[in-house]
Amino acid sequence: MTSTARILAMAKMVWVEIFRKKDFYVAFILVGVVLVYAANLRFYNIQGISRYLMDLGLALIFFSASLLTILLAARQYPNELRDRTLQVLLSKPVSRFEFVIAKFLGSLAAGLTCFILFILVFLFIVLSRAGSISWVTAFQTVYLFALNLAVLAAMTSAFSYFFTLGANVTTTFILYLTINLYGGSLGTAAAGLKGPAFIAAHVAYWVIPHFEFFDARQRFVHQWPALSAPLVFEVTLYAFLYTAFFILLGWSLLRRRKV
Amino acid sequence: MMHPITVENLVVRYAKKKALDGVSFSVKSGEIFGFIGPNGAGKSTTIKSLLGLILPDEGVIRLDGLSPGQARSRMKVGFLPEETTFYRFLTPLEILDYYGRLFGLDGKLLKQRITYVLERVGLAEVRHRRIGTFSKGMVQKVGLAQALINDPEILILDEPTSGLDPLARLELRGVLAELKKRGRTLFFSSHELSEVELLCDSIAILREGRIVRSGSLEEVVGTDRRKNLELFFLETMQAPT
């Protein structure tokens, strides 16, 4: 059996897990209810309100898909360790590198599936209300967020070999939100600092994965022009490098650990 | 002649403390080998080393002449851990399909193995039920089933009777006796000394990371019928180090 087949078998288990537990269904119902409710709101025909609601809906979908990915990726290693299934798994012809890759891929596949299901509901509502959208921008928005989920799944997986489950979920979530909200302005803020604070802010700016790079919601909502192909390529490369870095970090943490 | 399991001068340290201190033993082909000792003696550490889950600080382990870290040696091994929960959201059928695929089994061969193993451990009737709804004894049967899915030449069992009722123990003894009859090698760690006495050909007694006695059951306990393994074990543990 090839390494790929073993990785796919393990990744499939992670994918199956999310649909056999309640988290996904709770999030799906919640997102669906909020989207339908938002789509039926009427504010005295105020201009631009539909765009605002579209923005809100997408934000909710991004948030829910990210949260589900974090929760799933974070619990893989600690739960396998707690239930002793890790010992069973690693006593089979499975290498630790295959294990790390499989857990990442499974978490990503599950997160992406949730995201696509949410987006389909969203698009159905938007198309039934607005009539038309820019498909190129819509595709870019979805594609960039898929890259975002890849980096997030790899980062959460890597942290799971170091932190406890609770600490990982909290740390990753706070880090993810903070970077999304303030990551872009960190460079500007750093320029106003002096001494060690200046150096620390600059190092942080260049080291953190800039999740905000993958957020093209505004472009879709306000129907701005699509991103250029070279820029999309650069962002793809950026996501690929961070994903690879986090996978290697996870593997280096697990490689020689006594389990 | 090469033994299926050979351990030479095994040393494992956790931080600075030696969990295993020069452990050596070998298990002959087709033998049931009992590995006994009190809590914290190093039984689980030995098992983890045999499975390649822990890299020893010193010493050599060979499974059929191969290092336990090699995929080729793992293809020959089945492992039943102590009190595993397994994936509660899966059914026995799904879990055996999953583990079988990790051994490269698929198609008709995998289906045949799953059917055989489920019937052998008595889970055929509940193969579509989620493991989350199972009793402790039934989960232990799932554990045994997954350990047998690759028809292993070497079976490593960590406290296999833990949590089993007398009837389930009897069934387990039947499975292990059948495996022995088919020439499989079994490494058996247990607190249940009566089980060890009933099943094992050879034993090793571990105390504070060292083997204090080893050999065939007769060699270790002696031929005095009044003396059973439990009495001998207690004497050994109470003796000054």
Helix count (H) and strand count (E) of chain A? 11, 0
- pLDDT tier at B217 (50, 70, 90 boundaries)? confident
Is A145 a domain residue? yes
Query: Token pair 């059929």 is at which residue?
Result: B64
Residues 6 or more apart in contact with residue B165 via CB below 8 angstroms: B137
The interaxial angle of helices B92-102 and A3-20, nearest 10 deg, is 160
Could you tell me where the DSSP H helices lie in A83-161?
85-91, 96-130, 135-160
CB atoms within 10 A of CB B165: 12
Task: Give contacts of A12 with chain B, Cβ < 8 Å.
Answer: 98
Give residue A48's pLDDT: 59
Is A245 a domain residue? yes
Candidates 3.10.20.600, 3.60.21.10, 1.20.1440.230, 3.40.50.300; correct CATH number of B1-76+154-160+182-241? Answer: 3.40.50.300
First to last CA, chain A: 25
Residues 6 or more apart in contact with residue B26 via CB below 8 angstroms: B3, B5, B6, B7
**What's the average model confidence in pLDDT over B211-215?**
90
Task: Give contacts of A93 with chain B, Cβ < 8 Å.
Answer: 71-72, 74-75, 102-104
Helix %, strand %, coil % of chain A (to 5)? 80, 0, 20
Give residue A47's pLDDT: 53
Nearest chain B residue to A254, by CA: B53
- B74 and A92 within 8 Å at the Cβ level: the answer is yes
How does the average pLDDT of chain B come out, rounded? 90
B205 has which bridge partners? Answer: B36, B213
From the candidates B17, B87, B140, which should be mutated to test the interface with A, based on the most A CB atoms within 10 A? B87
Give residue B2's pLDDT: 81
Choose the closest CB to B55 out of A21, A88, A256: A256
Give residue B77's pLDDT: 96
Q: Which of A187-191, B43-47, B129-133, B156-160 has the lowest mean pLDDT?
A: A187-191
User: How would DSSP label each residue in B66-93?
Assistant: B-TTSHHHHTTEEEE-SS----TTS-HH
Give residue A155's pLDDT: 98
Q: What is the mean pLDDT of each run of 10 residues along chain A (259 residues)?
A: 90 94 89 84 62 86 95 96 94 96 98 95 84 87 97 98 96 95 84 85 89 91 91 97 98 91
C-alpha count within 13 angstroms, C-beta hemisphere, residue B179 = 33
Task: Give contacts of B87 with chain A, Cβ < 8 Å.
Answer: 13, 17, 83, 85
Residues 6 or more apart in contact with residue B43 via CB below 8 angstroms: B35, B36, B37, B158, B189, B206
Percent pLDDT > 90 in chain B is 66
Choose the closest CB to B86 out of A6, A83, A93: A83
| Dist. CA A226–CA B208, nearest whole Å | 68
CB atoms within 10 A of CB A218: 12
Give residue B224's pLDDT: 62
| Dist. CA B212–CA A142, nearest whole Å | 64
Q: How many domains does chain A have?
A: 1
- A91 and B71 within 8 Å at the Cβ level: the answer is no
Is A259 a domain residue? no
| Dist. CA B86–CA B93, nearest whole Å | 13
Choose the closest CB to B104 out of A1, A84, A85: A1
- pLDDT tier at B226 (50, 70, 90 boundaries)? low
Our measurement of the distance from residue B26's CA atom to the centroid of its chain's CA atoms, rounded to an integer in Å, reads 14
From the candidates B67, B82, B89, which should be mutated to test the interface with A, based on the most A CB atoms within 10 A? B89
| Dist. CA B101–CA A248, nearest whole Å | 25
Choose the closest CB to B81 out of A17, A87, A258: A87
Q: How many residues does chain A have?
A: 259
Give residue A21's pLDDT: 87
**Is A204 in a helix, a strand, or coil?**
helix
User: How would DSSP label each residue in B162-214?
Assistant: TT--HHHHHHHHHHHHHHHHTT-EEEEE-S-HHHHHHH-SEEEEEETTEEEEE
Query: Token pair 């997954």 is at which residue?
Result: B146
Task: Give contacts of B101 with chain A, Cβ < 8 Å.
Answer: 1, 5-6, 9
Task: Give contacts of A10 with chain B, Cβ < 8 Å.
Answer: 102
The string of pLDDT tens digits covering residues B8-65 is 999 999 988 999 999 999 999 999 999 999 888 999 999 999 999 999 999 999 999 9
C-alpha count within 13 angstroms, C-beta hemisphere, residue A68 = 33
Instruction: Establish, for the pair of chains A and B, how many residue pairs have beta carbons separated by less than 8 Å.
Output: 85
Give residue A187's pLDDT: 79
| Dist. CA A208–CA A242, nearest whole Å | 9
pTM of the model: 0.91
**Is B53 in a helix, a strand, or coil?**
coil
**If interface means Cβ-Cβ distance under 8 Å, which residues of chain A face chain B?**
1, 5-6, 9-10, 12-13, 16-17, 20-21, 82-85, 87-95, 256, 258-259
**If interface means Cβ-Cβ distance under 8 Å, which residues of chain B face chain A?**
14, 48, 51-55, 71-72, 74-75, 77, 79, 81-87, 89-90, 94, 98-99, 101-104, 143, 146, 156
In this predicted structure, the answer to whether residue B114 has a pLDDT above a threshold of 60 is: yes
Domain with CATH 3.40.50.300 in chain B: 1-76+154-160+182-241
- A1 and B51 within 8 Å at the Cβ level: the answer is no
From the candidates B10, B17, B49, B53, which should be mutated to test the interface with A, based on the most A CB atoms within 10 A? B53
| Dist. CA A86–CA A99, nearest whole Å | 9
Q: A13-33: buried (b, 16+ CB within 10 Å) or exposed (e) per residue?
A: bbbbbbeeeebbeebbeebee
Structural domain including A179 reads: 3-254
Between CA B39 and CA B48, with CA B42 as vertex, the angle to 5 degrees is 120
- B87 and A17 within 8 Å at the Cβ level: the answer is yes
What ipTM describes this predicted complex? 0.90
Residues 6 or more apart in contact with residue B159 via CB below 8 angstroms: B82, B83, B189, B190, B191, B192
Give residue B119's pLDDT: 95
- A5 and B74 within 8 Å at the Cβ level: the answer is no
- pLDDT tier at B69 (50, 70, 90 boundaries)? confident
**What's the average model confidence in pLDDT over B72-99?**
93
**Is B19 in a helix, a strand, or coil?**
strand
